[in-house]
Amino acid sequence: MKRTRIGLWAASTLLAATALTGIAQAQELTVLCDDIGFGCLTMDPVVKRYESENPGVKVKLETVPYQSLVESLPVQLESGEGPDAAIITDLGGLSRYYLDLTPYVNAANFEKEYSQTLQWLRGSNPTSKAINGMPTTLTVNGAYVNLTLFEQAGVPVPKEGATWAEWAEATRKVAKATNTEYAMEMDRSGHRFASLAISYGAELVDDQGKPVIDKGLKDAVEQFVAWHKDGTMPMDLWGAVGGATHRELFSDFLNAKTVLYFGGSWTLSQMDKEVGDLFDWQVSPAPCGPSSCTVMPGGGALVGFKHTKQPEAVGKLIDYIAQSKNNAEIVSAAVEIPAAKSLIENGVTYPGASERTQQSLSTFIAQIPKMAPAAYRFQGWRYQRAMMNALTTRISQVLNSELEVDAALDRVKQDVELAIKAAGQ
Protein backbone atom coordinates (compact mmCIF):
# COMPACT_ATOMS: atom_id res chain seq x y z
CA MET A 1 0.00 0.00 0.00
CA LYS A 2 2.87 2.33 0.87
CA ARG A 3 4.59 1.57 -2.44
CA THR A 4 1.35 2.38 -4.28
CA ARG A 5 1.05 5.73 -2.53
CA ILE A 6 4.68 6.57 -3.35
CA GLY A 7 4.06 5.57 -6.94
CA LEU A 8 0.94 7.73 -7.16
CA TRP A 9 2.81 10.65 -5.58
CA ALA A 10 5.70 10.28 -8.06
CA ALA A 11 3.34 10.05 -10.98
CA SER A 12 1.37 13.11 -9.89
CA THR A 13 4.62 15.05 -9.33
CA LEU A 14 5.82 14.12 -12.82
CA LEU A 15 2.52 15.17 -14.33
CA ALA A 16 2.62 18.50 -12.49
CA ALA A 17 6.19 19.15 -13.62
CA THR A 18 5.26 18.29 -17.19
CA ALA A 19 2.26 20.61 -17.02
CA LEU A 20 4.40 23.47 -15.69
CA THR A 21 6.96 22.89 -18.42
CA GLY A 22 4.17 22.95 -21.00
CA ILE A 23 2.85 26.23 -19.62
CA ALA A 24 6.30 27.80 -19.73
CA GLN A 25 6.80 26.70 -23.31
CA ALA A 26 3.31 27.81 -24.28
CA GLN A 27 4.01 31.34 -23.11
CA GLU A 28 6.90 31.81 -25.54
CA LEU A 29 5.71 33.75 -28.56
CA THR A 30 7.57 34.44 -31.80
CA VAL A 31 6.74 37.55 -33.82
CA LEU A 32 8.25 38.13 -37.27
CA CYS A 33 8.87 41.71 -38.40
CA ASP A 34 11.37 43.70 -40.40
CA ASP A 35 13.45 46.57 -39.05
CA ILE A 36 11.97 49.48 -41.01
CA GLY A 37 9.22 51.72 -39.62
CA PHE A 38 6.73 50.01 -37.31
CA GLY A 39 8.78 46.85 -36.82
CA CYS A 40 11.01 44.88 -34.48
CA LEU A 41 13.27 47.79 -33.57
CA THR A 42 10.52 50.27 -32.71
CA MET A 43 8.30 47.69 -30.97
CA ASP A 44 11.09 46.38 -28.77
CA PRO A 45 10.72 48.85 -25.82
CA VAL A 46 6.96 48.29 -25.65
CA VAL A 47 7.34 44.52 -25.86
CA LYS A 48 9.96 44.52 -23.09
CA ARG A 49 7.54 46.53 -20.93
CA TYR A 50 4.80 43.98 -21.69
CA GLU A 51 7.08 41.15 -20.59
CA SER A 52 7.87 42.93 -17.31
CA GLU A 53 4.15 43.41 -16.64
CA ASN A 54 3.35 39.81 -17.57
CA PRO A 55 5.84 37.50 -15.84
CA GLY A 56 6.18 34.14 -17.54
CA VAL A 57 5.55 35.50 -21.02
CA LYS A 58 8.52 35.71 -23.35
CA VAL A 59 8.16 37.43 -26.72
CA LYS A 60 10.82 36.87 -29.37
CA LEU A 61 10.88 39.62 -31.97
CA GLU A 62 12.57 37.98 -34.94
CA THR A 63 13.89 40.43 -37.51
CA VAL A 64 13.70 39.16 -41.09
CA PRO A 65 14.09 40.87 -44.47
CA TYR A 66 10.88 42.23 -45.97
CA GLN A 67 11.34 39.81 -48.86
CA SER A 68 11.01 36.90 -46.41
CA LEU A 69 7.68 38.24 -45.17
CA VAL A 70 6.48 38.45 -48.77
CA GLU A 71 7.82 35.14 -50.10
CA SER A 72 8.77 32.74 -47.30
CA LEU A 73 6.08 33.42 -44.70
CA PRO A 74 3.15 32.41 -46.98
CA VAL A 75 4.89 29.08 -47.68
CA GLN A 76 5.30 28.44 -43.96
CA LEU A 77 1.68 29.32 -43.26
CA GLU A 78 0.41 27.06 -46.05
CA SER A 79 2.17 24.13 -44.40
CA GLY A 80 0.63 24.97 -41.02
CA GLU A 81 3.88 26.28 -39.58
CA GLY A 82 5.47 29.65 -38.94
CA PRO A 83 5.50 32.23 -36.15
CA ASP A 84 2.72 32.97 -33.68
CA ALA A 85 2.33 36.46 -35.11
CA ALA A 86 3.89 38.79 -37.66
CA ILE A 87 3.70 42.26 -39.12
CA ILE A 88 2.54 41.75 -42.70
CA THR A 89 1.53 43.94 -45.65
CA ASP A 90 -0.35 41.42 -47.83
CA LEU A 91 -3.43 42.18 -45.78
CA GLY A 92 -6.13 40.47 -47.81
CA GLY A 93 -3.96 37.78 -49.35
CA LEU A 94 -3.06 36.09 -46.08
CA SER A 95 -6.49 36.48 -44.49
CA ARG A 96 -7.28 32.76 -44.44
CA TYR A 97 -4.45 32.21 -41.96
CA TYR A 98 -5.42 34.88 -39.42
CA LEU A 99 -6.46 34.22 -35.87
CA ASP A 100 -9.73 35.93 -34.94
CA LEU A 101 -8.68 38.11 -32.03
CA THR A 102 -12.21 39.11 -31.01
CA PRO A 103 -12.33 37.05 -27.77
CA TYR A 104 -8.97 38.36 -26.57
CA VAL A 105 -8.98 42.09 -27.31
CA ASN A 106 -11.09 45.15 -26.63
CA ALA A 107 -13.23 44.61 -29.72
CA ALA A 108 -15.14 47.90 -29.37
CA ASN A 109 -11.88 49.83 -29.29
CA PHE A 110 -10.59 48.05 -32.40
CA GLU A 111 -13.79 48.82 -34.31
CA LYS A 112 -13.63 52.46 -33.23
CA GLU A 113 -9.96 52.93 -34.07
CA TYR A 114 -9.67 50.87 -37.26
CA SER A 115 -13.14 50.76 -38.80
CA GLN A 116 -11.89 51.17 -42.39
CA THR A 117 -8.61 49.26 -42.35
CA LEU A 118 -10.00 46.24 -40.49
CA GLN A 119 -11.92 45.50 -43.68
CA TRP A 120 -8.64 45.03 -45.57
CA LEU A 121 -7.85 42.12 -43.24
CA ARG A 122 -11.09 40.29 -43.98
CA GLY A 123 -10.11 39.27 -47.49
CA SER A 124 -12.89 37.75 -49.54
CA ASN A 125 -15.46 37.97 -46.73
CA PRO A 126 -16.55 41.63 -46.64
CA THR A 127 -19.48 40.87 -44.32
CA SER A 128 -17.19 39.42 -41.64
CA LYS A 129 -17.00 41.15 -38.28
CA ALA A 130 -13.87 39.29 -37.22
CA ILE A 131 -10.97 41.26 -35.79
CA ASN A 132 -8.10 39.67 -37.67
CA GLY A 133 -5.32 41.96 -36.55
CA MET A 134 -4.17 45.38 -35.49
CA PRO A 135 -3.48 47.78 -38.39
CA THR A 136 -0.14 49.32 -37.43
CA THR A 137 0.41 52.33 -39.69
CA LEU A 138 -0.88 53.71 -42.95
CA THR A 139 1.51 54.09 -45.83
CA VAL A 140 1.21 56.26 -48.90
CA ASN A 141 3.10 55.84 -52.14
CA GLY A 142 4.81 58.99 -53.29
CA ALA A 143 7.59 60.84 -55.07
CA TYR A 144 10.82 61.92 -53.39
CA VAL A 145 12.49 64.74 -55.32
CA ASN A 146 16.11 65.92 -55.19
CA LEU A 147 15.64 69.69 -54.94
CA THR A 148 19.36 70.39 -55.07
CA LEU A 149 19.57 68.90 -58.55
CA PHE A 150 16.59 71.00 -59.70
CA GLU A 151 18.29 74.11 -58.35
CA GLN A 152 21.60 73.27 -60.02
CA ALA A 153 19.83 72.70 -63.32
CA GLY A 154 17.78 75.88 -63.08
CA VAL A 155 14.58 73.92 -63.78
CA PRO A 156 11.35 74.82 -61.91
CA VAL A 157 9.98 72.04 -59.71
CA PRO A 158 6.52 71.00 -61.00
CA LYS A 159 3.68 72.16 -58.77
CA GLU A 160 0.77 70.22 -57.29
CA GLY A 161 -1.45 69.02 -60.12
CA ALA A 162 1.45 68.35 -62.50
CA THR A 163 1.04 65.24 -64.62
CA TRP A 164 3.31 62.23 -64.80
CA ALA A 165 4.31 63.40 -68.28
CA GLU A 166 5.26 66.83 -66.95
CA TRP A 167 7.34 65.29 -64.19
CA ALA A 168 9.09 63.06 -66.73
CA GLU A 169 9.92 66.05 -68.94
CA ALA A 170 11.20 68.14 -66.02
CA THR A 171 13.34 65.38 -64.52
CA ARG A 172 14.85 64.55 -67.92
CA LYS A 173 15.96 68.17 -68.23
CA VAL A 174 17.46 68.09 -64.74
CA ALA A 175 19.25 64.78 -65.32
CA LYS A 176 20.75 66.06 -68.57
CA ALA A 177 21.87 69.39 -67.09
CA THR A 178 23.44 67.83 -63.98
CA ASN A 179 24.78 64.64 -65.56
CA THR A 180 22.63 62.56 -63.20
CA GLU A 181 22.27 58.91 -64.20
CA TYR A 182 18.47 58.63 -64.10
CA ALA A 183 15.56 61.03 -64.38
CA MET A 184 13.01 58.86 -62.57
CA GLU A 185 12.99 55.56 -60.74
CA MET A 186 10.16 53.47 -59.31
CA ASP A 187 10.53 50.59 -56.87
CA ARG A 188 10.27 47.26 -58.65
CA SER A 189 6.89 46.67 -57.07
CA GLY A 190 3.42 46.00 -58.42
CA HIS A 191 2.08 48.12 -55.58
CA ARG A 192 4.05 51.17 -56.71
CA PHE A 193 3.07 50.58 -60.34
CA ALA A 194 -0.59 50.38 -59.28
CA SER A 195 -0.43 54.08 -58.33
CA LEU A 196 0.52 54.97 -61.90
CA ALA A 197 -2.00 52.53 -63.38
CA ILE A 198 -4.99 53.76 -61.37
CA SER A 199 -4.12 57.38 -62.14
CA TYR A 200 -4.35 56.37 -65.81
CA GLY A 201 -7.83 54.92 -65.22
CA ALA A 202 -7.11 51.26 -64.43
CA GLU A 203 -9.59 49.49 -62.16
CA LEU A 204 -7.49 46.33 -61.56
CA VAL A 205 -10.33 44.57 -59.70
CA ASP A 206 -14.12 44.91 -59.89
CA ASP A 207 -16.74 44.84 -57.12
CA GLN A 208 -17.10 41.06 -57.54
CA GLY A 209 -13.41 40.42 -56.89
CA LYS A 210 -12.54 39.67 -60.51
CA PRO A 211 -9.38 40.98 -62.20
CA VAL A 212 -9.90 43.83 -64.66
CA ILE A 213 -7.71 44.43 -67.70
CA ASP A 214 -8.79 47.71 -69.28
CA LYS A 215 -7.60 50.60 -71.41
CA GLY A 216 -6.32 52.50 -68.38
CA LEU A 217 -4.00 49.63 -67.48
CA LYS A 218 -2.80 49.27 -71.07
CA ASP A 219 -2.09 53.00 -71.34
CA ALA A 220 -0.10 52.93 -68.09
CA VAL A 221 1.98 49.93 -69.17
CA GLU A 222 2.70 51.50 -72.55
CA GLN A 223 3.80 54.76 -70.90
CA PHE A 224 5.93 52.91 -68.37
CA VAL A 225 7.64 50.91 -71.11
CA ALA A 226 8.22 54.07 -73.16
CA TRP A 227 10.01 55.73 -70.23
CA HIS A 228 12.34 52.76 -70.05
CA LYS A 229 12.94 52.70 -73.79
CA ASP A 230 13.80 56.42 -73.97
CA GLY A 231 16.08 56.35 -70.91
CA THR A 232 13.85 58.29 -68.51
CA MET A 233 13.93 55.21 -66.28
CA PRO A 234 16.81 52.71 -66.03
CA MET A 235 16.27 49.50 -67.94
CA ASP A 236 18.49 47.49 -65.59
CA LEU A 237 16.08 47.68 -62.63
CA TRP A 238 12.69 46.49 -63.82
CA GLY A 239 14.19 44.77 -66.84
CA ALA A 240 17.23 43.01 -65.45
CA VAL A 241 15.72 41.28 -62.42
CA GLY A 242 13.55 38.29 -63.31
CA GLY A 243 10.11 37.25 -62.15
CA ALA A 244 8.22 39.12 -59.45
CA THR A 245 11.29 39.96 -57.32
CA HIS A 246 10.60 43.00 -55.15
CA ARG A 247 13.31 45.66 -55.15
CA GLU A 248 13.30 49.02 -53.40
CA LEU A 249 15.57 51.74 -54.79
CA PHE A 250 16.13 54.05 -51.85
CA SER A 251 19.92 53.68 -52.16
CA ASP A 252 19.91 55.26 -55.62
CA PHE A 253 18.13 58.34 -54.28
CA LEU A 254 20.49 58.47 -51.31
CA ASN A 255 23.46 58.46 -53.67
CA ALA A 256 21.90 61.15 -55.92
CA LYS A 257 21.69 58.79 -58.89
CA THR A 258 18.10 59.75 -59.66
CA VAL A 259 16.20 63.04 -59.72
CA LEU A 260 12.84 61.54 -58.69
CA TYR A 261 12.34 58.34 -56.73
CA PHE A 262 8.83 56.89 -56.46
CA GLY A 263 8.69 54.94 -53.23
CA GLY A 264 6.63 55.55 -50.13
CA SER A 265 6.18 57.05 -46.70
CA TRP A 266 7.73 54.10 -44.83
CA THR A 267 11.25 55.25 -45.78
CA LEU A 268 10.88 58.73 -44.25
CA SER A 269 12.80 57.92 -41.08
CA GLN A 270 15.59 56.31 -43.09
CA MET A 271 15.58 59.26 -45.51
CA ASP A 272 15.91 61.71 -42.64
CA LYS A 273 18.79 59.84 -40.99
CA GLU A 274 20.80 58.84 -44.05
CA VAL A 275 20.34 61.73 -46.47
CA GLY A 276 20.83 64.35 -43.77
CA ASP A 277 22.49 67.42 -45.27
CA LEU A 278 23.87 65.66 -48.34
CA PHE A 279 21.28 67.45 -50.46
CA ASP A 280 17.92 69.16 -50.19
CA TRP A 281 14.85 67.02 -50.90
CA GLN A 282 11.09 66.98 -50.55
CA VAL A 283 8.06 64.75 -50.95
CA SER A 284 5.92 66.06 -53.78
CA PRO A 285 2.14 65.75 -54.17
CA ALA A 286 0.97 62.82 -56.26
CA PRO A 287 1.64 63.13 -60.00
CA CYS A 288 -1.58 63.13 -62.01
CA GLY A 289 -2.65 60.74 -64.73
CA PRO A 290 -5.48 61.27 -67.22
CA SER A 291 -7.96 59.85 -64.68
CA SER A 292 -6.85 61.09 -61.26
CA CYS A 293 -4.04 62.33 -59.03
CA THR A 294 -4.04 59.18 -56.95
CA VAL A 295 -1.50 57.00 -55.24
CA MET A 296 -1.94 53.68 -53.48
CA PRO A 297 -2.72 53.43 -49.79
CA GLY A 298 -1.13 50.67 -47.84
CA GLY A 299 0.10 49.74 -44.48
CA GLY A 300 1.01 46.91 -42.23
CA ALA A 301 -0.86 44.94 -39.63
CA LEU A 302 0.19 42.93 -36.61
CA VAL A 303 -1.69 39.64 -36.93
CA GLY A 304 -1.81 36.34 -35.10
CA PHE A 305 -2.09 33.02 -36.91
CA LYS A 306 -4.58 30.19 -36.44
CA HIS A 307 -1.91 27.57 -35.88
CA THR A 308 -0.58 29.23 -32.71
CA LYS A 309 -0.82 27.09 -29.60
CA GLN A 310 -1.37 30.19 -27.46
CA PRO A 311 -4.16 32.24 -29.07
CA GLU A 312 -5.04 34.05 -25.85
CA ALA A 313 -1.43 35.09 -25.23
CA VAL A 314 -1.12 36.34 -28.81
CA GLY A 315 -4.35 38.29 -28.49
CA LYS A 316 -3.34 39.91 -25.21
CA LEU A 317 0.02 40.98 -26.64
CA ILE A 318 -1.62 42.59 -29.68
CA ASP A 319 -4.24 44.26 -27.48
CA TYR A 320 -1.44 45.73 -25.34
CA ILE A 321 0.40 47.11 -28.36
CA ALA A 322 -2.89 48.59 -29.65
CA GLN A 323 -3.38 50.66 -26.48
CA SER A 324 -3.15 54.30 -27.47
CA LYS A 325 -0.08 55.18 -25.40
CA ASN A 326 1.91 52.18 -26.59
CA ASN A 327 0.78 52.54 -30.19
CA ALA A 328 1.73 56.23 -30.24
CA GLU A 329 5.17 55.45 -28.82
CA ILE A 330 5.91 53.00 -31.64
CA VAL A 331 4.44 55.20 -34.40
CA SER A 332 6.49 58.15 -33.15
CA ALA A 333 9.71 56.15 -33.19
CA ALA A 334 8.85 54.72 -36.60
CA VAL A 335 8.09 58.19 -38.04
CA GLU A 336 5.04 56.86 -39.86
CA ILE A 337 1.39 57.74 -40.38
CA PRO A 338 -0.82 56.19 -37.67
CA ALA A 339 -3.68 53.90 -38.60
CA ALA A 340 -5.59 54.49 -35.35
CA LYS A 341 -8.32 57.10 -35.68
CA SER A 342 -7.59 58.74 -32.32
CA LEU A 343 -3.90 59.18 -33.16
CA ILE A 344 -4.77 60.73 -36.53
CA GLU A 345 -7.20 63.14 -34.86
CA ASN A 346 -5.00 64.03 -31.89
CA GLY A 347 -1.74 63.94 -33.76
CA VAL A 348 1.52 62.17 -33.00
CA THR A 349 4.71 63.96 -32.06
CA TYR A 350 7.92 62.97 -33.81
CA PRO A 351 10.60 64.46 -31.55
CA GLY A 352 13.49 62.89 -33.43
CA ALA A 353 12.33 63.95 -36.87
CA SER A 354 13.50 67.02 -38.73
CA GLU A 355 11.18 69.80 -39.82
CA ARG A 356 11.54 68.59 -43.40
CA THR A 357 10.45 65.09 -42.46
CA GLN A 358 7.43 66.39 -40.56
CA GLN A 359 6.47 68.47 -43.60
CA SER A 360 6.85 65.37 -45.74
CA LEU A 361 4.48 63.49 -43.45
CA SER A 362 1.95 66.28 -43.92
CA THR A 363 2.31 65.99 -47.70
CA PHE A 364 1.77 62.24 -47.58
CA ILE A 365 -1.29 62.61 -45.34
CA ALA A 366 -2.71 65.24 -47.70
CA GLN A 367 -2.77 62.63 -50.48
CA ILE A 368 -5.16 60.34 -48.60
CA PRO A 369 -8.40 62.20 -49.48
CA LYS A 370 -7.40 62.19 -53.17
CA MET A 371 -7.07 58.42 -53.44
CA ALA A 372 -9.37 56.84 -56.01
CA PRO A 373 -11.93 54.24 -54.88
CA ALA A 374 -10.14 51.72 -57.11
CA ALA A 375 -7.02 52.14 -54.96
CA TYR A 376 -8.86 51.22 -51.74
CA ARG A 377 -10.63 48.33 -53.46
CA PHE A 378 -7.36 46.94 -54.81
CA GLN A 379 -5.60 47.27 -51.46
CA GLY A 380 -8.10 45.02 -49.69
CA TRP A 381 -8.42 42.41 -52.44
CA ARG A 382 -7.44 38.89 -51.43
CA TYR A 383 -5.63 38.38 -54.74
CA GLN A 384 -3.82 41.70 -54.77
CA ARG A 385 -0.45 39.98 -54.38
CA ALA A 386 -1.15 37.71 -57.34
CA MET A 387 -2.03 40.72 -59.51
CA MET A 388 1.00 42.72 -58.36
CA ASN A 389 3.37 39.81 -58.98
CA ALA A 390 1.85 39.21 -62.41
CA LEU A 391 2.20 42.86 -63.38
CA THR A 392 5.85 42.98 -62.27
CA THR A 393 6.73 39.78 -64.10
CA ARG A 394 4.90 40.54 -67.36
CA ILE A 395 6.01 44.19 -67.58
CA SER A 396 9.60 43.00 -67.25
CA GLN A 397 9.00 40.60 -70.14
CA VAL A 398 7.74 43.49 -72.25
CA LEU A 399 10.85 45.51 -71.40
CA ASN A 400 13.00 42.58 -72.50
CA SER A 401 11.06 42.23 -75.77
CA GLU A 402 9.77 38.79 -74.75
CA LEU A 403 6.11 39.86 -74.96
CA GLU A 404 4.06 42.59 -76.60
CA VAL A 405 1.89 44.70 -74.30
CA ASP A 406 -1.42 43.07 -75.30
CA ALA A 407 0.01 39.58 -74.82
CA ALA A 408 1.48 40.59 -71.47
CA LEU A 409 -1.88 41.86 -70.23
CA ASP A 410 -3.55 38.63 -71.36
CA ARG A 411 -0.96 36.75 -69.31
CA VAL A 412 -1.61 38.98 -66.29
CA LYS A 413 -5.29 38.08 -66.37
CA GLN A 414 -4.49 34.38 -66.81
CA ASP A 415 -2.01 34.47 -63.93
CA VAL A 416 -4.54 35.98 -61.56
CA GLU A 417 -7.38 33.71 -62.67
CA LEU A 418 -5.12 30.70 -62.05
CA ALA A 419 -4.38 31.99 -58.55
CA ILE A 420 -8.09 32.39 -57.85
CA LYS A 421 -8.79 28.89 -59.22
CA ALA A 422 -5.98 27.40 -57.14
CA ALA A 423 -7.55 28.92 -54.05
CA GLY A 424 -10.80 27.16 -54.88
CA GLN A 425 -12.88 30.19 -55.83
349-390 residue pLDDT tens? 888 788 888 899 989 988 988 999 999 899 989 899 999 999
Q: How confident is the model at residue 329 (pLDDT cuts 50, 70, 90)?
A: very high
For residue 36, pLDDT beyond 90? no
Taking the C-alpha atoms of residue 393 and residue 391, their distance in angstroms, rounded to an integer, is 6
Strands (E), 3-55: 28-33
For residue 22, pLDDT beyond 50? no
For residue 134, the one-letter residue type is M
For residue 338, pLDDT beyond 60? yes
Predicted local distance difference test score (pLDDT) of residue 67: 86
> In this predicted model, what pLDDT tens digit does every residue of 172-217 receive, in sequence order?
999 999 999 999 999 999 999 999 999 999 999 998 889 999 999 9
What phi and psi values does residue 73 have, to the nearest 5 degrees?
Answer: -60, -45
Q: How confident is the model at residue 126 (pLDDT cuts 50, 70, 90)?
A: low
Predicted local distance difference test score (pLDDT) of residue 62: 96
Q: State CA 407 to chain mean position distance.
A: 29
- Of residues 23 and 358, more confidence is placed in 358
Q: State CA 107 to chain mean position distance.
A: 24
How many percent of the chain have pLDDT more than 70?
A: 92
Overall average pLDDT of the 120-132 stretch: 82
**Do 330 and 38 meet the contact criterion of CB atoms below 8 Å apart?**
yes
CATH number of this structure's domain 27-138+299-362: 3.40.190.10
Predicted local distance difference test score (pLDDT) of residue 339: 92
Overall average pLDDT of the 281-298 stretch: 95
Partners of 302 in the beta sheet?
Answer: 87, 134
Sorted by sequence, the CB contacts under 8 Å of residue 290 that are 6+ apart come out as 199, 200, 201, 216, 219
Burial class (CB in 10 A: 0-12, 13-18, 19+), 318: buried
Overall average pLDDT of the 63-86 stretch: 93
DSSP letters, 111-149, are HHH-TTGGGGGGTT-TT------EEEEEEEEEEEEEHHH
Q: Does domain 140-296+373-424 have CATH number 3.40.190.10?
A: yes
Which DSSP letter does residue 411 get?
Answer: H
What are the sequence ranges of the domains in the chain?
A: 27-138+299-362, 140-296+373-424
Overall average pLDDT of the 325-341 stretch: 93
For residue 273, pLDDT beyond 50? yes
Using DSSP, state whether 221 is helix, strand or coil.
helix
Sorted by sequence, the CB contacts under 8 Å of residue 87 that are 6+ apart come out as 31, 32, 33, 34, 38, 39, 69, 136, 300, 301, 302, 303
* First-to-final CA distance of the chain: 65
Predicted local distance difference test score (pLDDT) of residue 2: 42
Taking the C-alpha atoms of residue 424 and residue 119, their distance in angstroms, rounded to an integer, is 22
| Least confident range of 45-49, 261-265, 347-351 | 347-351
Predicted local distance difference test score (pLDDT) of residue 425: 55
**Do 389 and 245 meet the contact criterion of CB atoms below 8 Å apart?**
no
Most confident among 11-15, 20-24, 349-353 (mean pLDDT): 349-353
For residue 3, pLDDT beyond 50? no
| Least confident range of 23-27, 97-101, 250-254 | 23-27
Overall average pLDDT of the 283-298 stretch: 96
For residue 13, pLDDT beyond 80? no
Overall average pLDDT of the 329-357 stretch: 89
Crossing angle for the helix pair 215-229 and 164-178, nearest 10 degrees? 10
**Do 313 and 395 meet the contact criterion of CB atoms below 8 Å apart?**
no
Whether 140-296+373-424 and 27-138+299-362 are alike in CATH topology: the answer is yes
Taking the C-alpha atoms of residue 66 and residue 187, their distance in angstroms, rounded to an integer, is 14
Predicted local distance difference test score (pLDDT) of residue 388: 96
Burial class (CB in 10 A: 0-12, 13-18, 19+), 277: exposed
For residue 232, pLDDT beyond 60? yes
Overall average pLDDT of the 332-346 stretch: 90
Predicted local distance difference test score (pLDDT) of residue 168: 98
For residue 216, the one-letter residue type is G
Predicted local distance difference test score (pLDDT) of residue 352: 75
